[in-house]
Amino acid sequence: MAALGSAELGQMIRGFWVSQVVGTLARLEIADRLAHGPVESGALAKAIECDPRATLRLLHAAVSVGLVAALPDGRFRLAPPGELLRSDVPDSVRDFAIAMTAPGHWLPWGRLTEAIREGERQAVAALGHELFDFYAANPVEGDAFTGAMANHSASVARPLARALDTSAVNHVVDIGGASGTIIAALLEANPALRGTIFERADVVPRAEAALAKRGLSSRCRAVAGDFFDSVPEADLYILKVILHDWDDQQSVNILRNCARAMRPNGRVVLVERLFPEHGDPGEAALSDLNMLVLLPGRERTASEFAELFRAAGLKLDRTFGLTAAMQGIEASRLA
């Protein structure tokens, strides 16, 4: 890799400018407005009920980062990367852009220095609540976060369904699977399978709506509960980016509850970013810092997951790739 100069470092330092431009474009639904064709900035400002001069300045910034294009007649249109900020396109990142630049994530990250000094999450200091309690109290932002997780689930759902043999599985529980995306892929791959989405009480209505939208209400239900207390009985448990939210003891507690409720020959499958045992950690390192500022958890290596499984009465059977960033981690009961 070439040495970084002051210009490159300057881009890194100003990176938050760009993230807030992207988040504001998403929050104001500007990509959806521009999807129907070029628009003059004043007309756009009126449509989104914003100050005309400020809207023009935002559009100029969006042009500078390649999300919007300026036309010679003074109108603006979406550039190809900006299409992904629309709400109605496959692989949309609109909810992700909103959630990552809204207070729930944005404010704790502003306290990264304190997190490093103290070794503690900063959600309560920044938000006045733990993160998921903050989302429960702020449902608009909570919905954006759920949508962002649904977008992320879409990238792993079909690879996961292909990687798992569910021929001997009757009931699968997706712990924290509000979007229904992963359950849908598994039920589509096996028409005999039945499922449950296990969620917080405040998320259950979103999960039920997702199931109804997918036409799965007859084969899958949404159930409220606390995975630190217990989980429903099942043959297969799916936990997508759940354990990385929690510390080791909390993670063992969740896994132990799965082991207790698991039917004979049952399995637990995690979907996580594996921190490499050696070498460049890549994206996992930044995700690990995200956990540091927001929650008690962290990213882990395969051997660290194996230790959690053993403490919960499980054994790691295999790891398998799903996407460039995400891996499946499968475990079963200790003999």
Task: Considering the candidates 36, 129, 244, 278, report the single residue annotated as catalytic.
Answer: 244
Rounded Cα–Cα distance for residues 163 and 53 (Å):
52
Residue type at 51 in one-letter notation: D
Which residue in 282, 274, 241, 246 sits closest to 156, CA to CA? 241
Rounded Cα–Cα distance for residues 140 and 61 (Å):
26
Whether 244 is catalytic: yes
Q: Is 306 exposed, middle or buried (0-12, 13-18, 19+ CB in 10 A)?
A: middle
Residue positions annotated with a catalytic role? 244
